[in-house]
Structure formats: structure tokens, C-alpha cells
Structure 1
């Protein structure tokens, strides 16, 4: 028989509903809602303490999430993920991906989905997507599928991969931590990976073949071509193509790259006039063993960067009419402290004769310089030379640290997966190692950590504890059990996943995890079932956030790039949610013999 909840349980549910409603309304920032929730819990428990507690205990419950192991682990994983990105450790995989797309679009999409899914099992979802978004946009510009047809499927594959391990997402860590606090044995990293992979096999054909057909082609009809620069490439001695004729390797260079004066063979010390985008110049230089600035200058800038503890960055700068560079060449301009990698010439004005396409031609108003240096040096250079910096500065990967970053991440995951040390310790040690080795600079750690995630997780832990300690979870579990006691276990698991999925798609997956995990424990007791499959149903449901753009931060990341509307997520996401719920509930039941 259904009973009336206690005052504290009713207040706990009211706070949770208010938090969900505020998130779903999208009228306020996540950080504000999270902090207000923590404040409301602290105030309520101070004025109306839980039975057997005092007001100070309520404050500890409200603010305890900031010191919780799960939050520390999440922050450490963010730092390690940042290390992989800023060192360019994942770039070789990205280059290989581009070559596959050039063979066949459908094959390229399948390989991309698989790569993204497996990468997100051990690297947080967000850095994986952040790395792949520009690759997909660049491939779309090169004639592959429009980005609007690939980014939602890519995001779905990443979310499925993140679901497959305890460290795949912050939500998984949160569910496992809350379950451990409630008495369940801590789950190893790959404990439920086979279950998710079996469901992925069922759902991947839909993501790969059907999703792109349901999405619109939002490619701009008249988009601007990426800016191309004239550059002088200096060939070194490390190229594997030395002494070879240009015809033998031309097809291996980027499609958008061209020589202004084509050489017969490639020789060490050769200076090649090239015309390409910044990305294509960088890729061609890697393959040719060439650089677009004097090697001594690049070496000096790298040494200055390491000494100052600043990253090298690339920036595009426009020459204004009153710049002293107008009428001079790069060789006679007396430029110091930065390197000019290329020049995008402005069209000739009036009756002026066209300029020679050469990086050594005289500079003119409106020319765009592709520059490299420390950010402070670039800003000083722009100010001194009356230049306008365009689109900010792009940090260059610290590639010499890439293997170190991979080794640190690999060691942290391996030690945790083998059960030698808990993930909280290995991830924290890995984050410290990233700082010590210089993979991540300490003053840049703010770019790795997300304040929104930190306060959201802290608020979620607080509200989860409140719902558990107040008896609200027990009451909701008993209420759900009344309607589930005559249902078979697969249906029970499916309903739990559906309940949590609705919360995660219209509110926050972290909050849904904090609410759903205690309910799973209560339901297990009420129905006499094993608690672990019910907890996994909650964990899986929290990751089924495909149906709305507000369900997860990666959904928002792709919204602008794909020019998506709310309905695009619902049209593609709802069928995937149904497929995943049915697949996972059946597989869970078989795995646990329910």
C-alpha cells in the first residue's frame, strides 16, 4: 500500500524536481542552478535537520560533494585528457582517418565511429569529440559527408563508448561511487564492457547507415574557402623522399597543397615555394621533412617557449594601412621574436600591377601573415607593427611530449584495470605526472577543468545523499515496486532505464545518476533482485542522452557546427534510445540470470 512520504522526503523530492525543472528550462546557467541547489539543501537541513542529526551535519552533507572521491577523480581525468589533446598524441590516428575517408565515405564513417567509440572508453568523451569535430568539418570541406550528417552519429558512438567503462564518463564514476557508498562492491573498469559492446553491435548499423539519412544537409551554399598562404618550405635531411622525383610522391601530399614552382626532385637544403592552407602546409611539411621558417629560428622559439613556460601558438594577423611592414619584404622587415610562416596576399587595388606570388614579395595593406611564437610575443608584435590579430591564437601541440602523455594515460588505466590501485589514486598520480613532465602547464589547468562540471557533480552528490538519507529514495522505490512486482525482470530493468533516461535527456545525467542509484538499491530490496544489474540499468540509462541537445555537454558542442535544431536530436535520438533500452535490458537479464 502506498504511504505518504515524510516531510524530509517530500522536501528532498521537491528540491530535486525544482533542480530538474530549472535545468530543463535552460533559462539559467548550470553553475548557478547547481550552486543554488547546494545552498537550498544547506539551508533546509540547517533549519530542519534530519532525525538524529544536528544543523552542522546538514552543512557537511550539502558541501561534502566538493571533497568527494568521484569529483577528484573526474578532475584528474580531465587533466590527463587535456594532456593528450595539447601534446597532439591522437594526431597520428586523425591523419590515418583522413586517408580512409578519401577511399570511401561510408567506410570512413564506420571506421570513425569505431575509433571514437573505443577511444571514449578510456578518454573522457569531451576531449575525444573536441579532437574529432575539426577533423570531420575539414573532411566535409574536402568533399566527404556534410558535417551535419556525421556529428550526431559520431556523438552517439562516443557516448556508447563512454558508457562501457567506469572511467568512460564522469556519470559512470558518480554512479559507481554512490553505489559503493551504499554498500555495493566497487566495479572494476571493464566489468560491464562486454554488455555494452553486445548492445553496440545491435545498434551500430542504425547509427552508421540510418542516422545520416535522417539528418539534413546543412552545408552552407556559399561558404568561404579556408585561407591559403604562400610559404617558403625548407627541406631538411630527414625526408624519406630525398632524391625522388616529384611525380613519385605528389599524390601523397594533401589535396589542397601545391607548388608554385614545381621541383624535379627533392633535395636536402632545397627551398620550395608552396601555396596551401595552414593545416595543409603543416601536413605537407611533416611528409616532406620541411619547415616554413628557418630551423634556427624555430629552435630558438622552442627554447624560449620552454624557458618561459609558455606554449607556442599560431595566429593570423592582418596588415593595416599604417603598418611599417607595408612596402617591405619579410627579409628586410627586421621581424624579431616571432616567425612568419606564410603570407596570404590581398588582391591588388586599382590599376596596380599584380604582385608576384612569392613569400619574398613586398607586403601590402590587407595581407594576412601566418605567424608563430609565444602568445605574449605575438601580441607585442601585433601592437608594435600595427597588425590586427584574427580569430585569436591556436596553441601548437607539444609533440615531443606526446609519447609521455600516452604512457601516463596508459599506465593510469592499466594499473586501475588490473586492480593494483584504485582509479582515484592512479588518475590523481597521472594528473600530477602530466604537470611534472610538462604535458600540461600548471597555469593552463583551468582550460582542462570545467567549473560547470565541478559544481554540477558536487550538487548531484549532495542531492543524491539527501534523497537517500531523507527516505525519499526508499519511498520512490516502494512506489515503483508496487507497479513492478508482477513484471518480469527484463521489463523492470527497461522501466528503470526509461525512467532515468527521461531524467537525463531533460535535466542532467549527473543528477539523474545521483537520484537513480539510491532508487535502484531500494527497488532491489523491494523486489528481491540482485542490486548490481539494477545499478547498471541506472548507469546505462544515464548515458542514453541522445534525444535532446541539453542532455549532455557534447550534444551542445556539435549543435553549432552541425547547425542542428532540437528536432534533429529527437528524430535520431529517440529510436536509438529505444534500441539501446531493449538491447541492454535483455542482455543484462541473460548475463545475471534474472
Structure 2
């Protein structure tokens, strides 16, 4: 006969259920629900303290999550991940994917899944998805693989990669930290990676070959695509392509680049081309040809001022209005570079982008009302240009990656992860050291730290830590473990592991995976004690279950990130995610059973 839970245990379970309901209903933001949870725990324990504790002990329990080393580690990893994004350190992998897709779509998807898996083992999968989503959107726009058939598989692969190491996701760090607090030895970065790799080999064929077939082509026709800009490109004297023929050069360029005056012979130093393409196409053409689409002295001035003032270089789109000073002027006679210190990279006008017009060649083209300029510069200079010359600033603003620091950012991340993986430093120290280096070296700027950190994640983790503590200390975890173990005692070890994993998986797909982790980890310890099993495989079952968040869009932030881009519906996640969850639970349970000799 199972004894009834204590009043504090009942209260802890009620608060947990209320938190889950708050997340599921979605009427209040995650931040508000998390803060309310912390407040309820603090106020409740102050007026009704647990046995043998003081009222102030309850306040400490409720708020100590904000100073917990797991939260500090997660924030440090967010900063390092931000450094990889803003420096463009991951862009070589992105360019490689585009080349592979040109060979074969299925091969391209497979390589994409493997890259997403590997990158997510050491980098939070959110920046990985942020980098890869535009690539698949561009491929879909060119009539290749629809985004709707690629993004859910890509997200699944990145989540699977994040599962493979203790630093792959914030949830992994949280589970390991709670387990250490409960007395389990700390796991290394690659402690259970072989188990996940085995499961990955089983899951990958489903993700690669079956998932895309379960998804519809959700592409919608739009009235206009991404703007194309006409630009004047000058080849650098140091280009590696000098003395090569255009037949050798064109295959390296984006397919959508149009040349208006392509030479018939070999390329020469300082050669000039009139080209048209999207902003990304122009960037790729400049990279391949090692050239520029604006005068070198203007670009050098912008980069020098950016370095001196520690500001980011920004590219925006601006429309020429009827009141603009630029009307009927050409780019050379406008004096834009001299007056404002900004560079016009290209001009969008539909009538000049598809076929040559000798009267509009090169710098002779005159600005007309409605032209859209692609302009690069510092924020203050761009605003001054917009106001002074009566230009309308449009969408498309983005920061230019600080590529000069890309290698440095990648090195910092690699060293930090490497030092943690071989046990020289704990992950908390290695991550903090890496984050400090990212800031000191300028890979991430001090005034942009807020963009790296997610307030939602911070508050959620703090609330989850407090909730996990009260569930453990109130006896709720022991009672739930006793109730669950009473039904598990007749199951084989693999069945016990699968039941725990499924229990946590249901929680993580309909609430917060961080909360599921803090609830499930103490329960796993209690069940291990009840059944006389080692705690580590049961804790890993919780960790794995928390990451099997494939079945709903609310289960994880990247699920929501891809929802709009892929035009997904709720049932798309259920249709593709539920079979993957079942497959992973079965495979991981059997793998854990053999790995820990639980026959």
C-alpha cells in the first residue's frame, strides 16, 4: 500500500501541473509562467516552510536557480554560439552544402543532416538552424527541395546531435547538474555518445528517406521574390582566378548571377563586370572573384571607422522617393561616398535586371523614383544618408559578419569544448573562459550580449531548478517514484527504461523540456533506489526523453523557429515526430540495457 503524499509534496505536484497547464494553454508567456512559479514557491515556503527549515530557506530555494552554475554555463555557451554566428564561422559549411545540392538533392539532404548532427554536438542547435534555414529557403526558391520537406528532418537531425553530448543542449547540462547535486558522479562531454550514435544510425534512414515523404510541399506562390540588384563588380589584382577563362569561372558562381558584359577571353586584373543578382548572389560572386561592388576607398573607410568605433557594419535596402536629391543623377555624380561615408552595392530596378541595355551600362545609369539601393555602412551614417537624401529605409537590414574574427571564434569554441571534453576543466569553467575570450577579442561585442542571451531560457531554467528542488525536498519525487516503481517492478530493465523515457517524453512535448528534466531526474533516482538498479542508466533515460521533442511545435524553440519558414501545421509534427519518438525510445532503451549490462 502506497502511503499518501505529504502536504508539501501535494503542493509541489499541484504547482508542477499548474506550470505545465500554463505552458500548454499559452495565454501567458513562458517568462510570466516561470516567474509566477518562482513567486508561488517563494511565498508558499515563506508562510508554510517545510519541516526543519526556516522561512528564509524557502526564499533561497526559490531564487537560487538564478545563480546556479548550470544556468551560468548555459549563458556562456549562448555567448559562444553567438560568436560563431556573427563572425560567419559556420558559413564555410553552408557554402559546402550548396555545392553538394547541385550534384544531387538526396545526397545534399543526407550531407545536410550529417552536418547538422555533427555541429549540434558542440554548438547549440539554434544557431546551427539559424544558419542553415536561409540555405534551404534559397534552394526552394530556385525550384529545388521545398523547405517544408527539409526543415523538419534538419531540425530532427540537429536535436539528435544535441542529444549526443552533455553540452549539446541546455537540457543535457541541466540533467547532469541535477544528477550531480543528487550524488551521481559527473559525466564527461562524450560519456554516452556511443549510445546515441547507435540510435542515430537507426533513426537517420527514417529522417532522411521517410520524413520528407510524410510532409507536403507547402510552398506558396508570392507576388515577388527576393530583390535582384544590378552592380558594378571590380576584380581584385590578387584574385586567384586571373588568367582563367569564363567557362572555368562561371560554374563556381551562383546559378542566378547574370553577366551583362562577360568577356570572351581570360580574366584580367582590375577587370570590371556589370552583373545582377540577389544580395546573397552578389556576396558569393565577390567571394569567388575576390572583387568588390563599390569603390575600394569607400569600403576601406567604412571598415576603418567600424574598427575605430567598435560598431557593426550594416547592409540595408533604401527606396528613392519623389523628393530625393538623387533623381536623374548617376552613382559617380551623386557624391554619396564623400558626403555620407556609405557604399551603394547595387541598384534594383526590374526593367534593367534581365536583359542588357546599352543606354544603362555601368555607372551611366541614372536614379529614378522607385529604385531600391542596397547600401552598406555604419548605422548613424546610413540614417543620415536616408534623411538627407529623402530615401525610404526598407526591410532587409542585416549586420555584415565580422569574418576577420571567424577563425578566432571557431578556435575559441573548439578549445573550450576540447578542454572540457578531456577533463582538464569542468564545462562551467571552460564555457565561462570561452565566453570571456569571445567578449575580450570582440567576436561578441559587450553591448550585444543581450542578443546572445535568451531571457526566456534564463527565467525558465531558474524556475525549473526551483521546481526540481521543491519536488525533491518535499518528498514528491520519492512518492512519484514509489508509485511509478510499483507498476514497473514486473517489467524487464529495458521496459523500465522505456517507461521512464516515454513518461519524460510526453512531458517535454507538451511543456518545457527543462521542466521535464528537473521533474524526471529526481524521480529516476527514486525509482533506481526502489528497484535496486544503478541510477545512471535511468538518469540517461530521463536525459534522452527530454530531447525527444519532435512531436509538437511547442516542444522546443527550434520547432517554432522552422514552423513559419516551412509553413507547417501542428499535425505535420505529429505525423513525422511520433514514429521517430517510438523508434528512438525503443532503440535507446535496448542500447542502455546492453551498455549497462541490465539483463
TM range (shorter): over 0.9
Give the alignment of 1:291-310 within 5 angstroms.
291-310=292-311
Match in the other structure for 1:408 = 412
1:542 is matched with 546
Deviates more, 1:376-385 or 1:92-101: 376-385
2:430 aligned to 423, 426, 429, which one?
426
The answer as to 2:407 corresponding to 1:417 is: no
- Higher mean Cα deviation, 332-341 or 353-362? 353-362
Superposed CA offset, 1:394-444 (max 9, x none): 011100000100110011001000100000001001000001111011101
Q: Distance in 1 between matches of 2:75 and 2:238?
A: 40
Aligned to 1:338: 342
Cα displacement (A) at 1:357: 5.1
Structure 2 CA distance for aligned equivalents of residues 257 and 480 of structure 1: 62
In structure 1, the residue matched to 2:157 is: 157
Match of 1:59 in 2: 59
What are the Cα deviations for residues 182-222 of structure 1, in whole angstroms up to 9, with x where unaligned?
A: 00000000001100010010011000000000001011134
Inter-partner Cα distance in structure 1 for 2:222 and 2:377: 33
| Match status 1:362 vs 2:366 | yes
Residue 557 to residue 355, structure 1, CA distance change in 2 (3 Å): farther
CA contact (8 A) 1:149 1:217 kept: yes
Cα distance in structure 2, aligned partners of 1:462 and 1:246 = 64
Structure 2 residue 515 is the aligned partner of structure 1 residue 511: yes
Alignment of 1:374-385 (within 5 A): 374-385=378-389
Match of 2:488 among 463, 474, 484: 484
Question: C-alpha distance in 2, partners of 1:566/1:354?
Answer: 53
CA contact (8 A) 2:76 2:432 kept: yes
Cα pair 2:332 2:363 within 8 Å, conserved: no
Structure 2 residue matching 1:466: 3-state secondary structure: helix
Distance in 1 (CA, whole Å) between partners of 2:248 and 2:99 is 18
Structure 1 residue 247: deviation in Å?
Answer: 2.1
Matched, 1:531 2:532: no
User: Residue in 2 aligned with 1:260?
Assistant: 260
Q: Partners of 1:296 and 1:338 in 2: how far apart?
A: 11
Structure 1 moving runs of 4+ over 3 Å = 357-360
Q: Is the 8 Å Cα contact of residues 549 and 566 (structure 1) preserved in structure 2?
A: yes
Pick the aligned partner of 1:499 from 500, 503, 508. Answer: 503
- Does the CA contact (< 8 Å) of 1:76 and 1:428 recur in 2? yes
Contact 2:509/2:552 (<8 A) preserved: yes
Written as runs of structure 1 = structure 2, the 5 A alignment for 1:578-589 is 578-589=582-593
- Aligned-pair distance for 1:248? 2.4
204 and 346 in structure 1: CA distance in 2 versus 1, 3 angstrom threshold = closer
Superposition map of 1:8-407 within 5 A = 8-222=8-222, 224-264=224-264, 265-335=266-336, 336-345=340-349, 347=351, 356=360, 358-407=362-411
- Confirm or deny: 8 A CA contact 2:315 2:399 kept in the other structure: yes
SS of the residue 1:461 aligns to: helix
CA contact (8 A) 1:343 1:359 kept: no
Unaligned runs of 5+ in 1: none
For 1:118 and 1:223, how far apart are their aligned partners in 2? Answer: 38
TM-score, normalising length from structure 1? Answer: 0.98
Deviation at 1:223, TM superposition (A): 5.1
CA–CA separation in structure 1 for the residues paired with 2:263 and 2:465: 64
Contact 2:301–2:341 under 8 Å retained in 1: no
- The TM-score, its normalising length taken from structure 2, stands at 0.97
Distance (Å, rounded) in 1 between the aligned partners of 2:251 and 2:276: 16
Q: Is the 8 A contact 1:230 1:358 kept in 2?
A: no
Report the Cα distance in structure 2 between the residues aligned to 1:82 and 1:237, rounded to whole angstroms.
34
How far apart, in 2, do the equivalents of 1:51 and 1:546 lie? 41
What SS does the aligned partner of 2:274 have? strand
1:371-392 Cα shifts (integer Å, max 9, x gaps): 1011222122111111111115
After superposition, give the CA deviation of every residue in 1:207-242 in whole Å (9 maximum; x if it has no partner). Answer: 000000000101113452221111011111221110
Quote the Cα distance in structure 2 between the aligned partners of 1:248 and 1:147: 31
CA–CA separation in structure 1 for the residues paired with 2:49 and 2:500: 31
Q: In 2 relative to 1, CA 124–18 (structure 1 residues): closer, same or farther, beyond 3 Å? A: same
Q: Evaluate the alpha carbon distance shift between residue 355 and residue 15 of structure 1 in structure 2; reply closer, same or farther with a 3 A threshold.
A: farther
CA RMSD after TM alignment: 1.2
SS at match of 1:332: helix
What are structure 2's unaligned runs of at least 5 residues? none
Output the CA distance in 2 between the equivalents of 1:48 and 1:190: 43
2:580 is equivalent to residue 576 of structure 1:
yes
How many angstroms apart in 2 are the aligned matches of 1:586 and 1:30? 35
Number of matched residues?
590
CA contact (8 A) 2:13 2:471 kept: yes
2:230·2:276 contact (CA, 8 Å) conserved in 1? yes
Structure 2 residue matching 1:391: 3-state secondary structure: coil
Q: What is the rounded CA distance, in whole Å, between the counterparts of 1:454 and 1:244 in structure 2?
A: 54
Q: CA-to-partner distance for each residue in 1:486-540, whole Å, 9 max, x for gaps?
A: 1100000000000000000000000000000000000000000000000000000
Write the distance in 2 (CA, Å) between the matches of 1:377 and 1:442: 22
Partner residue in 2 for 1:457: 461
